[in-house]
Homo-oligomer: A and B are copies of this chain.
Amino acid sequence: MEKVHVIKVGGAVIEDEEKLSVFLDSFSAIKEKKILIHGGGRVATDIGKKLGIEPTMVEGRRVTDEKTLDLVTMVYGGLVNKKLVARLQKMDQNGIGLTGADGSLIESKKRPVRNGVDYGWVGDPIRVNVKIVADLLKAGLIPVIAPLTHDGHGQLFNTNADTMAGVMAKALVDSFDVYLHMTFELDGVLKDVNDPASLIAEMKKEDFEHYKQSGVIHSGMIPKLENAFEAIDSGVRQVRICKFDQVNPQKSSGTRLTQ
């Protein structure tokens, strides 16, 4: 089967001109089929403030009310996504900027109220339109996907980009050899966050369980890795957690997760 790379990049990288530039150089070096899924970033908060949209917090969690949904649709689906596409075009990378609503690429369900917390217009992915993704890739296009989905009944949703990348990767395993690259600002999974030399180059699921129990891996890294191992269990060939400038798969840096 043909290879496809699913690459997730966070909003913080996209907002930083210097980081974005090195990320895009690394991304462009990938010659095989590829899909970029990007996060949002603080620009939405900044623009929201000017529009008088204050972040709504419930039980310490950010809630996507109607106005916030409009805001992220504008900023992530419009400003961030289209600027990214224009940049890629300049590099002869034929990007096509999309959300999960476009071509019904990713359909979601509204996140149910949990412990009395209603997250508002937040969607959890339930379905990927694999045929359309394959058609776009076949046409030589590079899908550049903003963190938004829809329910198929006219409702858009704010959706977590990590989750979207995982779901996309898993959905493609019957049609492609899928490589998932989750980029962030560190070199990979570190035993000691302050020591780059403590990088874990390779991790199996049993290692993860071990690190989790001993407390070496904790807080935000746990859902990220659970998401990643789920992809591995579903048939994704490799998941790599690496720095944003190391996305070119020729490099074997970062943390590689295998079965």
Contact = CB atoms under 8 A, between A and B. Distances in A.
A126 to B, nearest CB: 14
Interface residues of A, number: 44
B86 A79 contact: no
A40 to B, nearest CB: 12
A98 to B, nearest CB: 7
Given A51-B51, A132-B139, A101 B85 contact: yes
B99 A82 contact: yes
Interface stretch (A152-160, A227-235, A236-244): A152-160
A104 B94 contact: yes
A135 interface: yes
A156 B79 CA distance: 10
Nearest to A156: B86
A100 to B, nearest CB: 10
Work out how many copies of this chain go into the complex: 2
Given A73-B82, A82-B73, A95-B102, A87 B154 contact: yes
Nearest to A149: B86
A135 B94 CA distance: 14
Q: Tell me whether chain A's interface is mostly helix, strand or loop, or mixed.
A: helix
A131 B140 CA distance: 10
Nearest to A79: B74
A256 B214 CA distance: 75
Interface in A52-107: 52, 70, 73-79, 81-83, 85-87, 89-90, 94-99, 101-104
A222 interface: no
A86 B100 CA distance: 10
Contacts of A98: 96-97, 102
Q: Which 4 A-B pairs have the closest CB atoms?
A: A78-B78, A90-B154, A135-B139, A74-B74
Given A73-B78, A85-B101, A136-B139, 17 more contacts: A50-B50, A50-B51, A73-B79, A74-B78, A82-B101, A82-B148, A86-B101, A86-B155, A89-B150, A94-B103, A94-B132, A96-B102, A97-B98, A97-B102, A103-B141, A135-B135, A139-B139
Interface of A: 47, 50-52, 70, 73-79, 81-83, 85-87, 89-90, 94-99, 101-104, 131-132, 135-136, 138-139, 141, 148, 150, 152-156
